[in-house]
A and B are shown apart, each in its own frame.
Chain A
Amino acid sequence: MGKTNHPAAERIEHLLGIIQQAEEEGKGNGSEATKIQTSFRRESHRSMADAAEILHSSVDCLMRLLPTMEISLAFH
């Protein structure tokens, strides 16, 4: 990735660094499905429609986790 002074590019680089850090941690103690999904994600070339659908599904999953996470938060 080329160097640029654009703030969006810096933000993307920072975000990519965090994702790489998360993947490294996931390789250490993550499941096999996570590793496969990560490798699949690297190699895939999604259209914008597919990307919007995946984004929508991911946010859906996060929202469905809310009750469980709030219960877990109540016990802290």
Chain B
Amino acid sequence: MRAQTQFLIRGTQLIAVLTFGAGFAKQQIKTSHITNSDLAVRNDPVKDFVEIPHSEYSSSLTHRPSPPRRSATFSSIKSTTTIRSFLVKRGLANKSNKQSWHDDVSPQDAHEDTPLDGVSAHADPESEGLAFESRVRRDVSDPLEDFDDQVSEISTKQSAWQHQEDGGKDETDNLNDDLMVPHAFLIHQIPWQLHQESIALFLELSGSLNCSEQLHDHEDDLRGDLARLLLWGESFDGGKLDDILAGSAELRDVVLELCATVSEILIEGKFEELITTQRFTF
């Protein structure tokens, strides 16, 4: 009887020890394999996708494989399309979101995935999608709106400039402006007239370079200058010179001064030549 009692007591102690040991071992398994990566995965918005296999918990204290990581989980997901379909299945994403992002895209293109889908697949895809939609629409439409604004602004400025050019007068006043055209024409044509008259005088002078001994000494230089002066004038034929000089008063003064200098030099040279040949008296 005593022996039976001691056997029962030892058996109960053994069972208690085994039970405690098993519980302690299970607790050790649960705590020792929760690493920082596990915590990162569990705090991730897509933690619902990560399912740790139960077989890992059922193993003993032997070496266990590394815990599942996001890369391992997503390695089975081929593309962001799968992520989106997965989210739709879980009810975490709305199908209409994607359609609304591609309202202006053809149906074929709408089924194609963009990297932006994956970005919006994270926390709260619906609100993120709406925000993204407004952002995309703003980015796309802003340049066109800016261009229209710029065009209208330029048109406004041009109209104001034209009005300013007209002196703010109406059409009836413009009839009186026609009387001012000859005077304005003469003033604005001065550099071009100087150039043309200088060229004509230069050509006439070049024909008699051999007649004058003084001019003959500078024949080569004068012919070279005549050629360059002709070349300079060819660039601004047809009123182009007046258009250029109308835009800059300083440039106009410089060109006018240079053309006047050339004209006066040529006149002096012509005087010299005419006095030499005694065909001109003053």
Chain A residues proximal to chain B, CB less than 8 Å: 1-2, 4, 6, 8-9, 11-12, 14-16, 18-19, 21-23, 25-26, 29-31, 34, 37, 41, 46, 48-49, 51-52, 54-56, 58-59, 61-63, 65-66, 68-70, 72-73, 75-76
Residues of A within 8 A of B262 (CB): 55, 58-59, 62
| Contact across chains for B228 and A63 when beta carbons are under 8 A apart | yes
Interface SS of chain B: helix
| Contact across chains for A15 and B255 when beta carbons are under 8 A apart | no
Closest to B228 in A: A59
| Contact across chains for B229 and A15 when beta carbons are under 8 A apart | no
Instruction: List 30 A–B pairs whose Cβ atoms lie within 8 Å, in order of A's numbering.
Output: A1-B282, A4-B280, A9-B280, A12-B270, A18-B193, A19-B194, A22-B190, A29-B249, A31-B253, A41-B264, A46-B268, A48-B217, A48-B269, A49-B218, A52-B265, A55-B222, A56-B225, A58-B258, A58-B262, A59-B229, A62-B228, A62-B232, A65-B254, A66-B232, A66-B235, A69-B251, A72-B247, A73-B243, A73-B244, A76-B244
Chain B residues proximal to chain A, CB less than 8 Å: 186-187, 190-191, 193-194, 197-198, 200-201, 204, 214-215, 217-218, 221-222, 225, 228-229, 231-232, 235-236, 240-241, 243-244, 247-249, 251, 253-272, 274, 279-282
Residues of B within 8 A of A76 (CB): 240, 243-244, 247
Interface SS of chain A: helix
| Contact across chains for A19 and B263 when beta carbons are under 8 A apart | yes
In this complex, which of A46, A62, A72 has the most chain B Cβ atoms within 10 angstroms of its Cβ?
A62
10 tightest A-B contacts by CB?
A: A52-B218, A48-B214, A55-B265, A15-B197, A59-B225, A58-B261, A72-B244, A58-B258, A1-B282, A51-B265
How near does chain A come to B239, taking the closest CB pair, in angstroms?
10
